[in-house]
Amino acid sequence: MSSGVQAAVALTSASRQAANNAARALLNRQYEQGYWWADLTADSTLESDYIWLQLWLHPPVNGVWNPPTRALVDKAVRAILAKQLPDGGFNIFHDGPTEISATVKAYFALKVAGIPADDPRMQAARQCILDRGGIQKANSYVKVNLSLFNLYPREGTPAIPPELMLGGGLIYEMSSWTRAIVIPLSIVHSMNPARPVPAGFNLQELFAHGVPVTYQFDKDKLFTWRNAFLTLDKILKFWERRGSRSIRTRAIRRAERWILERTRYTDGLAAIYPSMQYVIMALDLLGYPPDHPDRAEAQRQFDRLMVDRDGEFFHQPCFSVVWDSAIAAMALGESGQAPEAAMTRCADWLISKEVRRKGDWSYKRPNVEPSGWYFEFANEWYPDIDDTAQVLLALDHARGSDRKAHDATVKRAVAWLLAMQSKDGGWAAFDVDNDLTFLSYVPFADHNAMLDPTCPDITGRVLEALAQHLPKDHAAIRRGVQFLERTQEPDGSWYGRWGVDYIYGTFLALRGLQAAGENDREAHILRAGEWLRSIQNADGGWGESCESYKNKTYTPGPSTASQTAWALLGLMAGGDTTSLSVQQGVEYLIETQRADGTWREEHFTGTGFPQVFYLTYHYYRNSFPLLALSVYNKTKFGVDRA
């Protein structure tokens, strides 16, 4: 046997053992009910917002917090300070630079919690803010939140009129998450509560000299969408002062009904942190006492997001249980190492979570039978396309105990995915044709996620899922393939909206194209493979910084387990199973695997809102390497041919 073959056999053996260890580790973490569920963590902003909410709900009396609130605020303070950077600022992803909005939020939270402004940590944070243009350069949501306590001028915040509710289907042209945030916030903002702060408290030291506090018109061109919306903003602010009170009241009541309706069959409005927080505040202003069933339930669901254990204190933006379970089940199914009973339990649990009620998505698809899956434990108003595709991929490996119910569920989900294809041939996250680009210039759209346009990563995953159930020449599949061909970047990569970033988009696009029957000798697939090989790190792994979103091109980062797995999966889907790049990538995963079969990963590889909010999915580092190793083990030198 030649040395090359011996090395290949040794690598295959080591890869098989690493996959077995990873599968065992994942199986040991399955819950009795059949699901997998890991923490979902982010930056310091959620803990900062938590202190802000406590100021709203339980303001200090004579400068003293009540004891239960004080204890929680102190924990949040410690969590925030643990994330302060050497320059005094706060970032929004691991190893990232200081970000001004996160730093303003942290400064406010720490100061209101009792950290004096002359504390060296506060002085450093303040200087970071001033160096970046002052509090005036924070995003609109920070300014709105502070204005509710008279800490930022009201005229410097965008109008968020509840009259949006009277605009027919206008709210359904916003992304689902923006809708869920803006509608309760519109109630809060319109009621202009001017909540109290401790005596003498202000943030004047954060205002940079000479920087305007109000939005500024573009001067280079007479007409731009920005100027148009800033003009509209002025009109809306006039309406706030002089407009019909009866129309405003009707709008607020319609927003109230909309919110309450969407807190049924779900773990809070949209089951995400920002909207759940604003719901509590809106109900408070509308006169719901703390013990009212709707307000108490809103508070309970919000409090569930708090993790307070073994010295850890943080807030999750939501629960990722369906997502975690579907990816784990797919990886385990591909490995062949999962007992049938474990897979059946998972399939039964996933099937029980299928959506059978119409949600916001049905505004544009009123005649489509409900199906699909959401991200969390319960969120029936908002099934998403990405989760639905991933669950279908999991159910290809995991069969439910009731085969008839299993098949019926799959059939409905396939039909729902087909109905949710947008006009351009791609798929978005929650809605269809949610792409009115000019809405991105609305002043409160600076969270960089006003819309929910189609994207290559979700389209690739949907193609992979549908190709298991439809002929490859199906019209929807061909349109999806054409979408990916059109959206490929000049360097051969694809943009990843929901994972960081081009590695994620490229791996999913390539897997979708492979499943759709594209020849791996096609030029666009060869270019993608060349691109993936060209960005491999010297240690054999792959990594990408969240800065790719800001730079609008691949930006290198340290190797991570999840991104290495994505690159390997992309290369293998593109027909490369034996190159030195693939071998070195597999070796990287083997060498960095820990004794318990898991991997360590500190860098953020999940995306919430590009350039604004990033995520760490704590099972990405374990499920995706298992999937990559398992696929590798079925290739030329792998398990099936050993």
Task: Point out the residues that are catalytic.
Answer: 386
Tokens of 15: 């890869």
Of the candidates 602, 598, 509, the residue with the CA atom closest to the CA atom of residue 559 = 602
Of the candidates 46, 242, 174, 110, the residue with the CA atom closest to the CA atom of residue 453 = 174
H-run or E-run covering 229: helix 225-242
CB 291: neighbour CB atoms within 10 A? 7
H-run or E-run covering 273: helix 273-285
Which residue matches tokens 């039978």? 369
Distance of alpha carbon 138 from alpha carbon 125, whole angstroms: 14
Distance of alpha carbon 277 from alpha carbon 270, whole angstroms: 11
Q: Whats the size of the chain, residue-wise?
A: 642
**Torsion sign, CA atoms 471, 474, 480, 484:** positive
Which residue matches tokens 């009170």? 245
What phi and psi, each to the nearest 5 degrees, are found at residue 40?
-125, 110
Distance of alpha carbon 305 from alpha carbon 403, whole angstroms: 35
Distance of alpha carbon 411 from alpha carbon 405, whole angstroms: 10
Identity of the amino acid at 359:
G
The CA-atom distances, in angstroms, between 484 and each of 146, 462, 465, 512 are 42, 12, 15, 9
Which residue matches tokens 């090359």? 4
3-state secondary structure of 232: helix
How wide is the angle at C-alpha 632 spanned by C-alphas 628 and 635, nearest 5°? 150
Q: Are 121 and 134 in contact (CB under 8 A)?
A: no
Identity of the amino acid at 144:
V
Burial of 197-206, coded b for 16+ CB within 10 Å and e otherwise, reads bbeeeebeeb
CA atoms within 13 A on the CB side of 542: 32
Distance of alpha carbon 21 from alpha carbon 424, whole angstroms: 43
